[in-house]
Amino acid sequence: MRRLPPVLLEDGCSRELLSLIRTILAACKEISFRVGQGALSGVLGSTLDENIQGETQKKLDVLSNQLLKDILLESGTVKAIASEEEDYTVAGNPDAKFIVAFDPLDGSSNTDINSLVGTIFSIMEAPAGSDAADQSIFMQPGHKQVAAGYVLYGPSTMLALTTGKGTRMFTLDKTQGSFLLTQDFAEIPADTNEFAINTSNQRHWQPAMQNYINDLLAGDTGPRAKNFNMRWIAAMVGDVHRVLSRGGLFTYPTDTKDPKKPNKLRLLYEANPMAMLVEQAGGIASTGTERIMDIQPDAIHQRVAVILGSKNEVETCLGYHK
């Protein structure tokens, strides 16, 4: 089985980018161990603090963020980082080429019930001559990403990674500490009968999404004339992993539950990297009105609606939004 470094070098990945990816994965291996220890290491439960998103931080949120932050800044491979758990960007090596945005522990509310969680990351090049302390260096559309991925902490620890030449899956061999290639090129089936959405918010959705989901729920007696299954893990990383593994549609649409926050998912370190992974596997990623990776960011914690997955099903969903 091929290991991660040679595979990426075969794709023409620079050694500088490969070094950065390996640095991120070193932190993820430690996070995987801490998540696996669970209650044995006293890392479950919440802190008394809230992050910039107004969300109560889990102990593992704080721990995971600190591990990634420390190892990236100490490595000298990044000019700056942006994290879900940091109010502002953090400057690193002023001479480094890359910047990294990450969600250190997506789905952290699942840690207390021993369900799926993961780390999501996005890598871009810093503009030439830019200031490491200037957070505007992160204001780049998703198509500027040079690499994106997530590490899923489940029964096995898995890495989904793209450097712009397809999406590959790796599994952590915990006996050797290496990520081994287990799926060379993921390909999302164009058609599906699975969808993932938080239906508890249904009354708050816009009419287009209301109508689309109602038609799915009507099954073979409705206009779609086939039955659909709903799946919901409550962690984007888990739901997207299922889409990459066997197809499906995942969406967190705009809603009116909190008028100040009509969208849930963050563009830079959730929507963009997942969109790149999905598109590189033959799927589509949209807000309902535009391609996610074409959005020009205006804030590091900017939120967007997300509809992604199997090409034909996403296109059907988008048809309801026209």
Identify the structural domains of the chain with CATH numbers, from first to last. 4-183 (3.30.540.10), 194-321 (3.40.190.80)
pLDDT in tens, the chain (322 residues): 788 888 888 888 999 999 999 999 999 999 999 999 988 877 777 775 666 666 667 889 999 999 999 999 999 999 999 999 999 999 999 999 999 999 999 999 898 899 999 999 999 999 999 999 999 999 999 999 999 999 999 999 999 999 999 999 999 999 999 999 999 999 999 999 999 999 999 999 999 999 999 999 999 999 999 999 999 999 999 999 999 999 999 999 999 999 999 999 999 999 999 999 999 999 999 999 999 999 999 999 999 999 999 999 999 999 999 8
Q: Does the annotation flag 103 for ligand binding?
A: yes
* pLDDT given for residue 51 in this prediction: 66
Q: Does the annotation flag 107 for ligand binding?
A: yes
Q: Does the annotation flag 105 for ligand binding?
A: yes
**What is the 3-class SS of the chain, one letter each residue?**
CCEHHHHHHHCCCCHHHHHHHHHHHHHHHHHHHHHHHHHHHCCCCEEEEECCCCCEEEHHHHHHHHHHHHHHHHHCCEEEEEECCCCCCEECCCCCCEEEEEEEEECHHHHHHCCCEEEEEEEEECCCCCCCCCHHHHCCCHHHEEEEEEEEECCCEEEEEECCCCEEEEEEECCCCEEEEEECCCCCCCCCCEEECCHHHHHHECHHHHHHHHHHHCHHHCCCCCCCEECCCCCHHHHHHHHHHHCCEEEECCECCCCCCCCCEEHHHHHHHHHHHHHHCCCEEECCCCEHHHCCCCCCCCEECEEEECHHHHHHHHHHHC
| Measured distance CA(196)–CA(210) in Å, rounded | 14
Q: Nearest 10 degrees: CA dihedral of 84, 197, 297, 143?
A: 100
* pLDDT given for residue 48 in this prediction: 55
| Measured distance CA(61)–CA(51) in Å, rounded | 10
Q: Does the annotation flag 264 for ligand binding?
A: yes
* pLDDT given for residue 38 in this prediction: 87
Q: Does the annotation flag 84 for ligand binding?
A: yes
Q: Does the annotation flag 198 for ligand binding?
A: yes
**In sequence order, what are the beta bridge partners of 117?**
153
Question: What pTM value is reported for the model?
Answer: 0.96
* pLDDT given for residue 3 in this prediction: 86
